[in-house]
Structure 1
Amino acid sequence: MNADGTDRSTTDPLDLRVLRRDEWDRWYDTLLRAFGGVPEPAEERALYRSLTDFDRSLGVWEGDACVGTAGAFRFRMSVPGGARVPTAGVTMVGVAATHRRRGVLTSMMRRQLDDIRSWGEPLAALTASEPAIYGRFGYGAATVQIGAEIDTGKVRLSVPAGTDDVRLRYAAPAAVLDVCEAVYARLVPGRPGMLARQPGWERLGLLDPESARDGASPLQCVLASRDGEVTGYARFRVRPGWGQGGAEGTVLLADLEGLDPATRAALWRFLADIDLTTTLSVRNRPADDGWQYQVSDLRRCGPRPRDVLYVRLVDVGAALAARTYRAPVDVVFEVEDAFCPWNTGRWRLAGNEKGASCVPAADPADLALSVRELGAAYLGGVSLTALAGAGRVRELRPGALAEAALGFGSDVAPWLPHGF
């Protein structure tokens, strides 16, 4: 409202521009209000300010009021074959409730994808608070995470040979951060969807504000070792609880990584056997996580899948050439991309387990699909055959679908280990 009582929205045009450092607090407060307005703990707010790429962050302003926010972290994401491909981690997207249906989000998505293309990053990825929003901008759901509430009072683990050779010890999470990060870094090339952590991102796993513990302990850490080498770790909290029959505590798993099956089994067994607890609560694990095949009764674990990472091919040719293919593939795609028209047209993909090329083509198309389906299938966790069964991919040459679907698959389920 202006001083004369007139509606400022009728006099001040919307201004989309790159974020300035002195605008960050107002910009971030707009984002928090879009997500309900609950203040973040000071240490979490400070971390995200330090991680913000100001030259890659956008704000929409009406006078001195921020009404829209969007950012894009610099990431390198693992893809099938182990390459870590430059990826824009789309984040902090919000629009003031007073400015819905005025094209604010569309204008930010348009500018952002143009910017990402100019930066030479072939991929964009995000975690969607409202999945229905991002399909129209070309993002496809590419990974699934598994959550569970494991009844450790009744479920037992069958562990592989060598598990008893793994030694565990408690350690202060911050004191062993470098060791844990070394384990994580070794795992990144082997699982599509994992992010090679840039400096500063390692601190995300240490966030432990008391206000967010909900009655649980401070963050704890256990290191696993074999033959004197650290081979894994688990970070977790314990929330005590008591019922008529005695202790009913809950172990809240935050993070678990291991370099081999015995290490992972030793960590899971430890978490399931912590005294005075009867439940192991799991929020984010890979869809093919091994514990599911070690428990005595999966039904008592209540596994629940959830879509997580949405992937968008910003440059179809560069993105498809950046990964490898499980089996030889030589197909021509007819790609539809209304939001990024430079991708629209025919692309010839030729590749195998050693490498690939993808270039514009004049040959007849073998498969027709939109860039959204390519994003969903890109990391190997969503089958092109399944998308065809849903009517989202059309086979134009007999046999092309089976060939492409086999090539696009991944032996390991893609997974995003943490949000952004």
Structure 2
Amino acid sequence: MALEMRVLKRDEWDAWFDQLELAFGGVSEVAQVRELYRSLTEPERSLGVWDGEDCVGSASAFTFRVSVPGGALVPAAGVTMVGVSPTHRRRGVLSSMMRRLLDDVRAAGEPLAVLTASDPAIYGRFGFGTATYAMALEIDTTRVRLSVPPEADGVRVRRVDVDKSLADCERVYAELVTRRPGMPARQPGWERYPLSDPPEDRGGASPLRCVVAEGPDGEVAGYARYRVKPEWDHSGSQGKVEVVDLDALDPAATAALWRYLFGIDLTWTVRAARRPVDDPVLHLVSDVRRSKPSLRDSLHVRLVDVAAALAGRTYGAAVDVVLEVEDAFCPWNGGRWRLVADGAGSAACTRTEEPADLALSVRDLGSAYLGGITLTSLAAAGRVRELRPGTLARASRAFAGDVAPWLSHGF
């Protein structure tokens, strides 16, 4: 029987999500998480592949706006919930779904598609490049001390109800989005995503807790959400603090929140799984080694419309460069593009027949797009070729950002 790919109907969601769970190992999500994903799913942007009555493939996209260098919010499709049944691998199911998704993204006028990859090796062939990394920390607070600025003493840290504090926390988050590339602006409904806290997923830790940092004016300038995991052995307590979110608008609030987390009674380790690679805490701790920083890939970016994407961000220096872009999967992007930017916010990208200065794939252009991975580092790996001497360094400086891009939460 021929396979059929079609847009998801609302009454098909359970069968569709069941197959996704099967593709990811067959462990069912707890009811709270399942219902959250049901509420966030956009059926009109979701695809199912059916073999008769059986769903054997799934893919979807969320409607996002993602911050880019300069603070603009660029429309982006958050590709998600991609899975293929083990019985239907190597039959072109994934390629067919990605073909349809990216065609739909282009038709919707969204310059970008983004995703987090369960297996990063899969998505490079579809033009997605790793654009952000996340840093994990495991800080031994018995041996690591904090050095905080004097202004932190003027910050009041106060415990608050997780739900009742949501509006204040969201205001802080919204202000931070334009400061750091890679952060998705919260669409309606997504404000609940960070609060998901099913007991089954806590691993023995406490329910989610929240503190806010208030400046001298009484305004909330930051917040931290965390859990405490009590542990004991023959020598006494070995408790751990598990940081879920920590966002702050200024250095004083940032330092005050970390100091609070370091000082929770009966805990000797602070863990944070998803932090920016340039997190200020690296400059507050007395010993980075005993903070055990480690990296993993996070947001993968795919330029669906090269011209609109490159014109949608700003550049750190003036640049006039012709890029030869290779894009086999979305051939409308292939060819030469002239990027002209004044370094002050104005940028334009147009088709050209002029000789190329640099040659690269759309995948590597996606990696460099948010400013965290330099064109020079990609060139050192043979991923970018300099065709006109002197153009690589200038273009790399223009693309680079002042802060590391960061995906603040998964999807």
Does TM, scored on the shorter chain, surpass 0.5? yes
Distance 1:83 1:203 in 2: 24
> Number of residue pairs matched?
409
Match of 1:40 among 7, 23, 29: 29
Match of 1:88 among 58, 72, 77: 77
Who is 2:213 aligned against? 224
Deviations 1:316-343 (A, max 9, x none): 0000000000000100000000000000
Distance 2:99 2:388 in 1: 34
Match of 1:209 among 177, 194, 198: 198
Match of 1:157 among 130, 146, 152: 146
8 A contact 1:224–1:267 mirrored in 2: yes
Distance 2:363 2:340 in 1: 20
Question: Where does 1:5-404 land on structure 2 (aligned, <5 Å)?
Answer: 12-226=1-215, 227-351=217-341, 352-404=343-395
Deviations 1:142-190 (A, max 9, x none): 0011001100111100001200000011111001111100000000000
Q: Please list every run of at least 4 consecutive aligned residues from structure 1 whose deviation after the TM superposition is greater than 6 angstroms.
A: none
Instruction: Please state how far the C-alpha of 1:355 moved relative to its aligned partner.
Output: 1.7
Match of 2:406 among 402, 415, 419: 415
Residue 222 of structure 1 aligns with an amino acid whose one-letter code is V
Instruction: Please state how far the C-alpha of 1:247 moved relative to its aligned partner.
Output: 1.2
Instruction: Please state how far the C-alpha of 1:41 moved relative to its aligned partner.
Output: 1.2
Distance 1:148 1:353 in 2: 36
Instruction: Please state how far the C-alpha of 1:37 moved relative to its aligned partner.
Output: 1.0
Deviations 1:126-148 (A, max 9, x none): 00000000000000000011001
8 A contact 1:89–1:126 mirrored in 2: yes
CA RMSD of aligned residues (A): 0.6
Distance 1:171 1:293 in 2: 28
8 A contact 1:144–1:308 mirrored in 2: yes
8 A contact 1:237–1:254 mirrored in 2: yes
Distance 2:289 2:74 in 1: 38
Structure 2 SS opposite 1:26: helix
Q: Which moved more, 1:317-326 or 1:347-356?
A: 347-356
8 A contact 1:387–1:393 mirrored in 2: yes
Structure 1 SS opposite 2:150: coil
Amino-acid identity (%): 64
Unaligned ranges ≥5, structure 2: none
Instruction: Please state how far the C-alpha of 1:245 moved relative to its aligned partner.
Output: 2.3
Deviations 1:254-309 (A, max 9, x none): 00100001100000010011000000011000000000111111111110011100
Structure 2 SS opposite 1:196: coil
Who is 1:5 aligned against? none
Distance 1:243 1:151 in 2: 17
TM-score normalised by length of structure 1: 0.97
Q: Which moved more, 1:380-389 or 1:346-355?
A: 346-355
Residue 332 of structure 1 aligns with an amino acid whose one-letter code is V
Distance 1:77 1:181 in 2: 16
Instruction: Please state how far the C-alpha of 1:382 moved relative to its aligned partner.
Output: 0.4
Instruction: Please state how far the C-alpha of 1:353 moved relative to its aligned partner.
Output: 2.7
Residue 75 of structure 1 aligns with an amino acid whose one-letter code is F
Distance 1:152 1:37 in 2: 38
Residue 192 of structure 1 aligns with an amino acid whose one-letter code is P
8 A contact 1:325–1:408 mirrored in 2: yes
Structure 2 SS opposite 1:306: strand
Instruction: Please state how far the C-alpha of 1:21 moved relative to its aligned partner.
Output: 0.4
Instruction: Please state how far the C-alpha of 1:39 moved relative to its aligned partner.
Output: 1.1
8 A contact 1:171–1:221 mirrored in 2: yes
Distance 1:13 1:49 in 2: 28
Distance 2:54 2:30 in 1: 24
8 A contact 1:81–1:353 mirrored in 2: no
TM-score normalised by length of structure 2: 0.99
Instruction: Please state how far the C-alpha of 1:244 moved relative to its aligned partner.
Output: 2.6
Residue 357 of structure 1 aligns with an amino acid whose one-letter code is A
Distance 1:21 1:244 in 2: 54
Distance 1:334 1:81 in 2: 24
Distance 2:327 2:41 in 1: 29
Deviations 1:33-82 (A, max 9, x none): 11111111111111111110110000110111000000010000000000
